[in-house]
Amino acid sequence: MQQGFQHFQQVRLTGLQNVPRLRALMITPLFRLLALMFAMTGLIQAQLATSLRLSKTQYLSGEAIIATVTITNHAGRDIVFQGDAQRPWLDFVITNTQGDSVTPTGRSAFGAVKIGAGQTFSRQVDISTLFQLADIGNYSTSATIRMPGRNGETTTTNRVLLTVSPGRPYWTQKVGVVGRTGNTREFRILNFSGDQKSQLYVQVLDGRTGLPIRTFSLGEALLIRKPSATVDKKQRLNVLFLATPSAWIHCQIDTDGKLVARAIHQPAPQGDPVLVTAPDGTVSVANSILYDAKAAAAARAKFRKLSERPSITY
């Protein structure tokens, strides 16, 4: 009886001593699988060198936000990236300051792209067409690149910060849309410095939703002269502003936000150029000399460079 009890104790102790070994045997396959997954992820990351940059960091609401994605192929073989709208090979993630993801408004398949071994590829994407970024605030964005295959691994670029601002409108005008009864637009002229020098922007808003249809820069402006604006009989916005000490820019923008005309004017001897509205509703620039680029180039061509001056001998 005593021998039987001692044998039972010995078996029990032996079993307890083997528990760590048994656990190790059970954990080892899982550990190996996880290690393999991490190793594969690191391999994918190592195969591609990626980066993301924006054209600037501060934008006006409704302005195009151009992101440039750069991919370098270090896989030692050619890679063909391809996908569709449901599973694109290139995708973006945008979050606000609260960490919430911004709602996408559309997706693009981006088409198939082949990157040769050791080669670098860059793609520009207007992410304002893919996400609702009209709301004022700070955002961060990164791009995700998916490797080929049904279960293609992904690699993520660096994150980039951007700010969407409302700008400072100092001129606005609501207009109807020609040929579209009941549709209205609101033209706005805004001054915005952003990352660069002071620039003049035009913003076209949908009269029903109040959302920007298009926002874009007309160029750098010298605000020592106040820009002038009016609407002509075709419901086009006409803007005249000083760009350089000797050049005024006249732009015409339609109700869809398209820049339909742009001309450079030089001041006449008697004063600054001005916008003039004729009785029939047409708008023109008065008190100016229209700049002729071809004539100016021809005039410059008449002057020889100093290096071409004939030598003088005595």
Q: Please tell me which residue, 263 or 17, carries the higher pLDDT value.
A: 263
Q: Rounded to two decimals, what is the model's pTM?
A: 0.72
- With a cut of 90, say whether residue 313 has pLDDT above it: no
Is the model's pLDDT at 139 over the cut of 90? yes
Per-residue confidence (pLDDT) for residue 203, from 0 to 100: 96
Task: Please report the pLDDT score of residue 149 as a whole number.
Answer: 79
Q: Between 86 and 47, whose confidence is greater?
A: 47
pLDDT-derived band at 25, boundaries 50, 70, 90: very low
Per residue in 59-80, pLDDT tens? 998 899 999 999 999 999 999 9
Q: How far apart are CA 115 and CA 173, in angstroms?
A: 49
Question: Is pLDDT at 31 greater than 90 in this prediction?
Answer: no
At residue 235, what are phi and psi to the nearest 5 degrees?
60, 30
Q: Summarize pLDDT for 168-183 with one digit per residue, the tens.
A: 888 999 999 999 989 9
What is the pLDDT at residue 300? 60
With a cut of 60, say whether residue 314 has pLDDT above it.
Answer: no
- pLDDT at residue 23, rounded to an integer: 46
- Tens-place pLDDT, residues 206-247: 999 998 999 999 999 998 999 999 999 999 999 999 999 999
Reported as a pLDDT band with limits 50, 70 and 90, residue 39 is very low
Domains of the chain: 48-164 (2.60.40.2970), 167-299 (no CATH)
Please report, as a single letter, which amino acid is at residue 64: A
